[in-house]
Amino acid sequence: MKNYEKVHVDKEPRTELHDKLNLTGAEISVNNLPAGAGIPFVHAHKNNEEIYIILSGNGTMTVDEETFDLSPLDFVRVSPAGKRQIKASENEPLEYICIQTKENSLGGYTQDDAIMIE
């Protein structure tokens, strides 16, 4: 059994990676909104925070009735209770990754979680 999974993602409107990568601690989706399009609903979560990573394009995000601009390499963390919605600008598509993971579940990271092999 190998210790990794690799997939290639085409530019679909939304690709969820939990099944494709056999994820066990997070959900990751790759999202492409056409110019002027937005997620048609406002949502929040019960337990999971979300991290949005803007890859290309511009748009806006509304969290708890506060709207702010998005541009490439913006990173936005939204707590589970945050009511959120995202939209591409009128003149260009918006491409982003969304990582969803249980809030307060990170026990260690980088060097705290690393094991030196050699």
For the chain, list the domains and their CATH numbers: 28-102 (2.60.120.10)
How close are the terminal C-alpha atoms of the chain, in Å?
A: 22
pTM, to two decimals: 0.92
Residue 118 pLDDT class (50, 70, 90 cuts): confident
Q: Residue range 76-85: average pLDDT? A: 98
pLDDT digits (tens, 9 = 90+) for 5-51: 999 999 899 999 999 999 999 999 999 999 999 999 999 999 999 99
Angle among Cα 84, 86, 87 to the nearest 5 degrees reads 155
